[in-house]
Structure 1
């Protein structure tokens, strides 16, 4: 069992930025138009913004405000698919026998986001980038809670997924639209999560679990479950 408090949260998706936006979506969830919408990261210098993909912009847009005022703030970045669009562009260049961009490659790796975060914030605390399956949120929480247990006063957890290129549609069907969720975690027992391994009779949630968590945060539901394959994550909240 792991325990933690959610001191603050932020989230972004196309057309959804404020708490009121997410409250409205939570009451009537729907697939959003991914289009080319990108979050506002005008708090960064223009030269730095140019290097950021939409995935990185999403992560920065939810994480940066949560990190303000916190020195030496560890970061856990969780994404199942990471920079898939950049990787696809590289593969397309290879297929067309075109020269590859070293910069494009360096920014396509899974820990590129935390590397950029460290550089742009001058942050040298522990940082971890993880790629998990459909329960990446919980695996990110395990990593974050381990840091809290080691004495960190707070840990920033960011979960972000980009819409994959259409060529991957046959294999990637768990990203209904681009989104990012940032959670500022602190020690405490506001939330308790335990793991079971019998998913019999439990229905799979219709939305990625990070988005479902926002709905539970907003409606103050005290208990719920998240199922992935044979793993059942039991969430309990103390109000």
Structure 2
């Protein structure tokens, strides 16, 4: 079992930008927009913004405000599918025998987002990029909790997924809409997370990060997520 506090959170999806938007979403009163909307990252210089894909913009949009005023904050970045639109564009160029862009390739790798984060923030603390399975959210929390246990005063966790190109539709069915969730974890015992018995457990019908956020906004004190042989039990102190 691991324990920690979550001092702040931020989330973004098309049409869901404020805490009120997400509160309405948690009650099934507000659904994400289907438009190719990108988050506002005007806090970055224009030349830096140009390098950011939509996935990176989502990560920066939720993470930057949480890290504001803090120094030497480790970052754990989690995405199951990563830069699928960029990768698909590269593969399309290959199929059409077009020259490949070195910049496109360098920004398509899974740790590109944390590299850009380090450069743009001048951040040199520990950073990890996880390409986890369906329970990547919990794997990221576990990584962040380990960093807290090693003495970090706070750890930033960012979980984000981009809507994949249509060609990936038959293979990627766990991204209902593009989204990003950022959490600032600090030492404490407000939250508990542990692996439990998965006998008879029913897998979550939505990504674990979104399911957890829904439970948080509804005021639930417990939440259970199952992925294959692993069942993660969340508990929050009243």
What range is the shorter-chain TM-score in? over 0.9
Return 5+ residue gaps in structure 1 as ranges.
Answer: none
Partner of 2:10: 10
Partner of 2:222: 223
- The 8 Å contact of residues 34 and 178 in structure 1, kept in 2 or not, is answered as no
- The 8 Å contact of residues 73 and 156 in structure 2, kept in 1 or not, is answered as yes
Give me the whole-angstrom Cα distance separating, in 2, the residues matched to 1:33 and 1:183: 23
Partner of 2:145: 145
Q: Secondary structure at the match of 1:3?
A: strand
Cα deviation for residue 199 of structure 1 reads: 2.6
Cα deviation for residue 31 of structure 1 reads: 5.5
Partner of 2:69: 69
Cα deviation for residue 33 of structure 1 reads: 3.4
What RMSD in Å do the two structures reach over aligned CA positions? Answer: 1.1
In the TM superposition, 1:101-112 aligns within 5 A as 101-112=101-112
Give me the whole-angstrom Cα distance separating, in 2, the residues matched to 1:30 and 1:41: 23
Return 5+ residue gaps in structure 2 as ranges.
Answer: none
Cα deviation for residue 38 of structure 1 reads: 0.4
Instruction: Using the TM superposition, name which of 141-150 and 22-31 deviates more.
Output: 22-31
Partner of 2:132: 132
Partner of 1:99: 99
- The 8 Å contact of residues 114 and 127 in structure 1, kept in 2 or not, is answered as yes
Cα deviation for residue 30 of structure 1 reads: 6.7
Give me the whole-angstrom Cα distance separating, in 2, the residues matched to 1:27 and 1:74: 33
Give me the whole-angstrom Cα distance separating, in 1, the residues matched to 2:30 and 2:169: 19
Give me the whole-angstrom Cα distance separating, in 2, the residues matched to 1:167 and 1:32: 22
Deviations 1:183-214 (A, max 9, x none): 00000111111112x43322222211111111
Give me the whole-angstrom Cα distance separating, in 2, the residues matched to 1:30 and 1:98: 42
Give me the whole-angstrom Cα distance separating, in 1, the residues matched to 2:93 and 2:35: 23
- The 8 Å contact of residues 16 and 32 in structure 2, kept in 1 or not, is answered as no
Partner of 2:237: 238
- The 8 Å contact of residues 55 and 162 in structure 2, kept in 1 or not, is answered as yes
Partner of 1:78: 78
Partner of 2:187: 187
Q: Secondary structure at the match of 1:32?
A: coil
Task: After the TM superposition, list the runs of 4 or more consecutive aligned residues in structure 1 that deviate by more than 4 angstroms.
Answer: none
Give me the whole-angstrom Cα distance separating, in 1, the residues matched to 2:32 and 2:10: 18
- The 8 Å contact of residues 222 and 234 in structure 2, kept in 1 or not, is answered as yes
